């Protein structure tokens, strides 16, 4: 092999190495970055201005690090779709858990939507939330399955499968959801990501993967933040015009999307949707 041939071979080899080594690295850089790149600690603290006030029973229970660590358990959360879609999903999730744990009131300092993550457990539960007819996830004697954590996980048929998938005993030790910050956030994200009835999930609705069935179309269950509310608590809140609970959920969502500088998308309300 003469000098010219050697140089040509060397150039070809270098180009091949570029394609095989450098380009994959470049391609991976184009993939969605983790949600910590979209919501840093200072931004998180701006959303939840009062979560660590003395007035909040959940003071110091919902740290930023616990949220980010829990989110890593669900790699598609906040990383699916366009940048605006990602921001909108994160805002929707945080808005829903803010309503579930709010300590705000109409004239609260900084407004009612600055008081999310104030509670970690349901106040004065009216029952132990045990569905004794559910034999797959039977209640454990003496245990209560009332609302706990950011999304207020409730009922034995939710605690059981959540614990199985996340690695804790949800039926025998449901209280861990209000005792462990990371598990608390994971339980909320588990509910957010889980699919029921085909593609129906909070995540799929917010990222455009929800495909409505004929029954959904007939019930006016169209994609948007209102359908997320329907998934979470539709039996009590949807199909009711001007429901104050739904308005509260929307209020949090509007505040957070404004902070993210992204639009809310359509169908914020579930007033004219048939409950799930």
Instruction: In whole angstroms, give the CA distance from residue 116 to residue 47.
Output: 8
In eight-state DSSP terms, residue 18 is I
Active-site position among 31, 76, 100, 121 = 100
Q: How far is CA 23 from the centre of its chain?
A: 33
Residue 82 Cα distances to 33, 88, 206, angstroms: 11, 10, 11
Instruction: In whole angstroms, give the CA distance from residue 18 to residue 15.
Output: 5
Which helix (H) or strand (E) segment holds residue 203: the answer is: helix 202-207
CB 82 within 8 A of CB 197: no
Closest-CA residue to 118 (of 108, 126, 128, 132): 108
Cα angle 28, 31, 35 (rounded to 5 degrees) comes to: 125
Q: Which residues pair with 153 in a beta bridge?
A: 148
Residue 68 Cα distances to 35, 73, 90, 168, angstroms: 8, 9, 12, 19
Letter string b/e over residues 135-164, b meaning 16 or more CB atoms within 10 A of that residue's CB: eebebbeebbbbbbbbbbbbbbbbbbbbbe
| Catalytic residue status for 175 | no
Active-site amino acid positions: 100
């Amino acid at each position: 092999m003469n000098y010219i041939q050697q140089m040509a071979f060397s150039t070809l080899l270098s180009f091949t190495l570029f394609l095989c080594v450098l380009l994959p690295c470049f391609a991976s850089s184009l993939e969605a970055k983790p949600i910590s790149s979209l919501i840093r600690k200072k931004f998180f603290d701006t959303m939840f201005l009062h979560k660590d006030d003395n007035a909040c029973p959940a003071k110091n229970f919902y740290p930023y690090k616990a949220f980010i660590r829990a989110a890593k358990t669900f790699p598609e959360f906040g990383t699916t779709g366009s940048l605006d879609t990602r921001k909108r999903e994160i805002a929707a999730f945080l808005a829903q858990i803010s309503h579930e744990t709010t300590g705000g009131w109409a004239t609260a300092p900084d407004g009612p939507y600055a008081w999310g993550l104030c509670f970690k457990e349901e106040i004065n539960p009216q029952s132990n939330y045990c569905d004794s007819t559910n034999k797959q996830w039977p209640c454990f004697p003496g245990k209560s399955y009332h609302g706990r954590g950011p999304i207020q996980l409730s009922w034995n048929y939710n605690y059981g499968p959540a614990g199985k998938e996340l690695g804790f005993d949800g039926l025998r030790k449901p209280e861990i959801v209000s005792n462990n910050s990371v598990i608390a956030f994971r339980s909320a994200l588990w509910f957010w990501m889980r699919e029921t009835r085909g593609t129906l999930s909070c995540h799929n609705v917010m990222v455009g993967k929800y495909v409505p069935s004929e029954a959904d179309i007939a019930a006016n269950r169209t994609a948007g933040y209102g359908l997320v509310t329907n998934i979470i608590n539709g039996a009590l809140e949807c199909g009711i015009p001007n429901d104050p609970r739904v308005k509260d959920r929307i209020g949090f969502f509007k505040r957070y999307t404004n902070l993210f500088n992204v639009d809310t998308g359509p169908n914020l309300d579930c007033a004219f949707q048939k409950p799930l």
